[in-house]
Amino acid sequence: MTTAVPRFDGPADVRRGLRQVEYLADEGIAGVVFLAERLAKPVLVEGPAGTGKTQLAKSVAELTGARLIRLQCYEGLDESKALYEWNYRKQLLRIQAQRLGEDSGATWSDIEEDIFSEPFLLTRPLLEAIRADDPVVLLIDEVDRVEVETEALLLEILSDYQVSIPELGTVAAKQIPLVFLTSNNTRELSEALKRRCLFLHIDYPDLDREKEIVQVRVPGIADDLADQIVRIVRSIRALDLKKAPSVSETLDWARTLLLLGTRHVDTETATGTLHVLLKYQSDIEKAAKDLATSASR
Amino acid sequence: MEGGDFLLEELPRGSSAGLLGTVAGFVTELRNAGIPVSLTENLDAVEALRHIPLADRGAVKYAMAATMVKNDAHWKAFETVFDVYFAYRGAEYRLGESPEDQEGEELVRALLGTGPGDGGGMEALSAEQLAELLYRALREGDRALLAAVARAAVLRYAGMEPGRPVGGTYYLYRTLRQLDLDTVLGRLLDQSAPDFPGSDLDDRLLREEYESRLDMLRREVEAEIRRRLVADRGADAVAKSVRKPLPDDIDFMHASREELVALRKAIAPLTRKLAVRLARKRRHGRRGALDFRRTVHHSLSFGGVPADPKFKQPRPSKPAIMVVADISGSVAAFARFTLQLVYSLNSQFSRVRSFAFIDGIDEVTDYFKGTEDIGEAIRRVNSEADVIWVDGHSDYGHALETFWERWGRQVDSRTTVLLLGDARNNYHASQSWVLAEVAGRARHMYWLNPEPRSYWDTGDSILGQYAVHCDGTYECRNLKQLERFVEQLG
C-alpha cells in the first residue's frame, strides 16, 4: 500500500481547484475534503436533498483526474452486489472442460484452486475501488438506505482499505482511494460507521454563495436577476414547507426565468413558475399565498 | 507548533498543557454539553490538527467538527462550546482576519477615541453617533462596521461589571433594548423606499434583507458579550452558563421560543426516520404460524415427509389510534408535537382519530383531513375547536365523561387509546371510572405525561387514579422519550 503523494497544499487549494470544475465549495467543504485526503479517511456527507452531495464526489474526481466508482445503495444490497461474487457459470464451464479432457492429469485440488482464483472473480464496486491501479474516487451513494446489518460490509473497507475473501485471502488497496458516503438521513447510521468517517453536513448555501452558484451554472444570467432569484428562494425556504427548494431547483428556476426572458421577477411571474421550485401542491399553494400577502404587509 | 498559533496563544486560563491538553479540555466540555465524542474521534481530531494551519481559526473549527461532531443536530451546541473555549481573549480582540476589517476597527477606535477594549473613553462617541453608525452599517450591509458597532454598543449599554453573576441573556437584552432595532428597521425601510419604486415583492425582499442584517448584528452582540464574559470569568464558567440542551433533550413544558423553533425543525426528520423504521419493522417482522395446508402440500414431493415447513405470512393489523389530548396552556406544546408526530405517521396506523379538551371536549379529526399541512391543522384546533365548557381550566373528569358518552362505543378491540396530559385536574372530580370502561374495550390504553415523574401525584395532579386503568404511563418530556414511545406503538 503506497500513500499517495499529497494532491492538495491546503484547504484554499482545494477550494480553488473545485472552483475550476464549477463546484463552489465553502470553507467547511474544502477543509473536510483536504483533511480526507491527508488523513486518508472517508467522508460521510449528509444534508438535505439537492444540495450537491453527490456532485461533490464527482467534482473531486474530476479535479484529481481520478476515476469515479459509484455504488448506489438500496434496501437489500448484499455482498454479491457490493463486494464480489464468484463467477458461477465460468466455474461450471471450467469443471466441465476438465471432464472432457479427462486424462490431463489434474487432481481435484488443482481444479479447486483454479476455480477460486482471480479469473473467476467478479469484482463489484467496492472491490474494484480497492484493486484499482489508477487513482479512484469511491462514491457510496445514499448509504442510509441499506439495513444496519449490511452497513457492516463497509466497515473493513472504510477503516483498513481492504477486503477479506475467504477463498483468496485479504486484498489490500494498492493506493488509498478517496471515499465519499452520502446520506439523506432517513435513519441514524451506526456509531461504528460514523466513527470511521469525517463528517460533513452540507446545508443550503448562504445568499452570496448561492448567487455565485447560479451565475456559474446558468451562464448569461443578469446579475440583478440572479440576485433577486436567490433572495426569493431564501424567502421561500423560510416558510414551513414539506420540501424546501434545493439548490438544483433554484438552478432550474433560474434557467426557466432566463428562457422566459424575464428581467425582473414580480409576484405574478414568481407565482406562475413556482412549480419549478416546489414539488408538492400544498407547498405551492402555501408559497403562492405567502407571496401574495406580502403585498398587504 | 511555534508561537503565533492561536490555539496555544489563546489557551483557556489556568491551563498550562499544550495542544493535547487543550483538545482534551475541549472534548470534556463537548461531552458535558451532551455531544458524544469517542476516544478514536479525539485522536482523529489531534491528527487532523497536525495538517492544518493552527493560526486559521476557521480551519481549526471545521477540522474539529468533522472529526468529532457526527450529527448535524449537535452543530449548534458545538459552535457555542467552540466559541467559548477558543474565544479571543485579553483586552485586544481582533475584529476579523481579513485586512479590510481593519478599517472598521480603526474607525471605531477613532470614534471611541481610545485604545481598544479598555472601555474608558466611551464618551467620545455619543449615543446619536452610535445610532447613526449602526444605521449606516445596516444600510450598506457592511459586516466589519456592524461588528465594530456591536462592540461599541456592548461597551456602552450592557453595563457589564466584573464578577457579576448574571447570564449573557441579561446583557443581550439590555444592549438590544438601547439600540431600539424596530425603529431602526422602520427608518431603513422608509429611507430606501424612494430608491426602489419596485413591486411588493421587492419591498418584501428588501425587508427580509434588512432583517437578516439585524440578525447578524444580534449575533455579533451576543458573541461580543460572550467574549467579555469569558475574559472575565474564564471559559469553564461561561461554558456552563451557555450550555443549551440538544434539540432531542429540550423539555416540552419549558421550551423558550427559540427552542420551540428548534423542536419544530427537529421533528420533520424524526418522523421520516420513524416512518421508515416502523415500515421496516412491519415487513421484517417474525415469521407467522405454521401453514399446515401448504406444508402438507409440499410434503408430497418428499414422499409425505414434511421436510420443508411452510409458514403463514404474518399480516400484523395496523393499530387504530385515538388520541385524547389536553391542549390547555401548560401542556399545549407537548400535545402539539405528539399530534404532529402521530399524524405524520398516519400511514403506519389504520386510522387516527383525535380529540382535544380543556374542560370540554371536541373531536378534531376533521381538521387534519384533506390537509397536508399539520401545523396549520393544529393552529385551527387551537382557535376553532369547541373545547371550553365553563372556565377554560383543565377538567379531566368532565372531559373524559363527555368522551365516554359521545364516543365511548366507538372504542373497539383494535383501538389503542393515547391520553396526553399532566392530569392536573384543578381539584375537580376525577371520574376515573371512565378509563376503567374505556380500558375494558380498547386494545391498549397509554398515558403520556410531559411532567417529570417525580411531580406526578403532587398538588392537583391525580395521575395515580387514572394510571391504575392504563396499560402503561410514560414520561414524555422531550423528543427522545416521545420517539421511544411511538416506536414501540407501531
A39 part of contact set with chain B, CB < 8 Å: yes
Find chain A residues with C-beta within 8 A of B41's C-beta. 195
Q: Are B460 and B425 in contact (CB under 8 A)?
A: yes
Q: Is residue A5 part of a domain?
A: no
DSSP per-residue codes, A58-127: HHHHHHHTPEEEEEE--TT--HHHHTEEE-HHHHHHHHHHHHHTGGG---HHHHHHHHTSGGGEEEPHHH
**Same domain for A277 and A175?**
no
Same domain for A195 and A264? no
User: Could you say which of A174, A201, A228 is where a domain stops?
Assistant: A201
Q: Which of A71-80, B177-186, B264-273 has the highest mean pLDDT?
A: A71-80
Same domain, A64 and A151: yes
Q: How confident is the model at residue A197 (pLDDT cuts 50, 70, 90)?
A: very high
Report whether pLDDT(B328) > 60: yes
Last residue of a domain, one of A177, A201, A225: A201
Residues B386-402, mean pLDDT to the nearest whole number: 82
Check: CB of residue B348 under 8 Å from CB of residue B275: yes
Q: Tell whether A16 and A148 lie within a shared domain.
A: yes
Q: Are residues A57 and A193 in the same domain?
A: yes
Whether B200 and chain A come into contact, CB under 8 Å, resolves to yes
| A1 within some domain | no
Least confident of B83-97, B149-163, B282-296: B83-97
Query: Vertex A286, ends A246 and B346: CA angle to 5°?
Result: 85
Domain of residue A132: give its range: 11-75+125-201
Pair (A172, A262) in one structural domain = no
Q: Tell me which residues of chain A, numbers 79 to 118, contact chain B at a CB-CB cutoff of 8 Å.
A: none
**A33 and A170 share one domain:** yes
Q: How far is CA B396 from CA A208, B108, B399, B446, in A?
A: 54, 61, 5, 15
pLDDT band at residue A200 under the 50/70/90 scheme:
very high
Rounded CA gap, A61 and A18, in Å?
10
Q: How far apart are CA A32 and CA B225, in angstroms?
A: 30
Interface contact flag, B44 A41, Cβ < 8 Å: yes
Of A201, A222, A245, which one is at a domain's C-terminal end?
Answer: A201
- Report residue B165's pLDDT band, with 50, 70 and 90 as the boundaries: low
Q: pLDDT tier at A61 (50, 70, 90 boundaries)?
A: very high
pLDDT at B1: 36
- Angle (deg, nearest 10), helices A11-20 and A53-64: 90
User: Residue A251: CB partners within 8 Å, gap ≥ 6?
Assistant: A213, A214, A217, A218
- The larger pLDDT score, comparing residue B257 to residue A126, is at A126
Q: How many CB pairs under 8 A join A and B?
A: 106
| Partner B contacted by A35 (CB < 8 A) | yes
B461 torsion bin: left (phi>0), alpha (psi -120 to 50), beta (else): beta
Question: Minimum mean pLDDT among B74-83, B289-298, B337-346, B438-447: which range?
Answer: B337-346
- pLDDT for B194 equals 52
Q: Which residue has the higher pLDDT, B376 or B415?
A: B415
Q: Does residue A224 lie in a domain region? A: yes
What is the Cα–Cα distance from B219 to B76, expressed in whole angstroms?
Answer: 13
- What totals of helices (H) and strands (E) does chain A contain, helices first? 15, 9
Are both A148 and A283 inside the same structural domain?
no
Q: Can you give the pLDDT at residue A70? A: 93
Collapsed DSSP state (helix, strand, coil) of residue A18: helix
Kindly determine whether residue A201 and residue B199, on different chains, have CB atoms separated by under 8 Å.
no
User: Does any domain span residue A166?
Assistant: yes
Q: Using alpha carbons, select from A222, A280, A217 the residue that is nearest to residue A247.
A: A217
Which CATH number does the domain housing residue A173 bear? Answer: 3.40.50.300
Instruction: Say yes or no: A21 and A69 in one domain.
Output: yes
Q: Are residues A237 and A109 in the same domain?
A: no
Which residue from B317, B66, B137 is spatially nearest to A32, judged by alpha carbons?
B66
User: A155 in a domain, yes or no?
Assistant: yes
DSSP character at residue B450: -
Higher pLDDT, A215 or B368: A215
Q: Which residues of B touch A294 (CB under 8 A)?
A: 200-201, 203-204
Residue A150's pLDDT is: 81
Nearest to B348 by CA among B222, B489, B215, B465: B489
State the DSSP H helix or E strand holding residue B469, giving kind and residue range, or none if neither: none
Q: Are residues A138 and A196 in the same domain?
A: yes
Number of domains in chain A: 3
- B209-218 pLDDT per residue, tens: 888 888 888 8
Residue A152 has pLDDT above 60, yes or no: yes
In a domain, A61, yes or no: yes
Domains of chain B from N-terminus onward: 6-85 (no CATH), 99-244 (no CATH), 263-285+317-489 (3.40.50.410)
